[in-house]
Structure 1
Amino acid sequence: MDRSSEGQRRYQSWPDDLKREIVSATLEPGASVAAVARRYGVNANQVFSWRKRLLAAASEAAPPHRDEPAEPGLIPVVLTAEVPDASEPLDERIEIELGGGYRVRVGAGFHGPALRRVLDVLERR
């Protein structure tokens, strides 16, 4: 925020292209909004505001994929009551089926932040 010659506050105006560039940088895997904001000399709260507005506008403008519902909603979950055989080793994998034919399987020792990055990338496709 700058001050004019009369001492009044004057807010900086950011070009839309630069806002999109900054928001895009925050969407990179492993990116921190605070770090990106510091790099561009912008308040992190301002970046969050731009990000929310631009992502909402993008989701409204983008046509829904043919396999996805037009409106966000609940997705069905199927639970099976399989009793593992004591003679077989216990399978501690989780399988996640996503739209677009993607399937992600993770074992007991998965790294949560890495899985979140993978799911974020697949969600954007």
Structure 2
Amino acid sequence: MRQITVMHEPERRRRWIDEERLRILAEAAAPGACVADVARRHDISTARIYTWRHKLRQQIAGPQFAEAVVDADNVDVPISEPSPAVVVELGNKMRMTVFPCAAAALVEATLKALR
């Protein structure tokens, strides 16, 4: 009968508190900082920093609102219409007007639908 000796090391997985993560992310985002150097200093992989950065962006990228203020003195000022960037004539009865603020994916999908 053979004897097997199982040797195990302490668990390598570390638990990071939010303050540590934010401090490391701030260090990596500093002007002139190299993510690889920051990762080496803290003995973590660069992928870990990029994953934290991605998750942080997802958390703060929710809907954002700005306060609207109406100036009662300028209520009668006419609003100028934005001028179109492109007007596409599609036969006699179809016309598509594309404004500069239109998303490219939306314009592409609309043109494909009208085809």
Q: TM (normalized to structure 1)?
A: 0.41
Q: TM (normalized to structure 2)?
A: 0.44
Larger Rg: 2
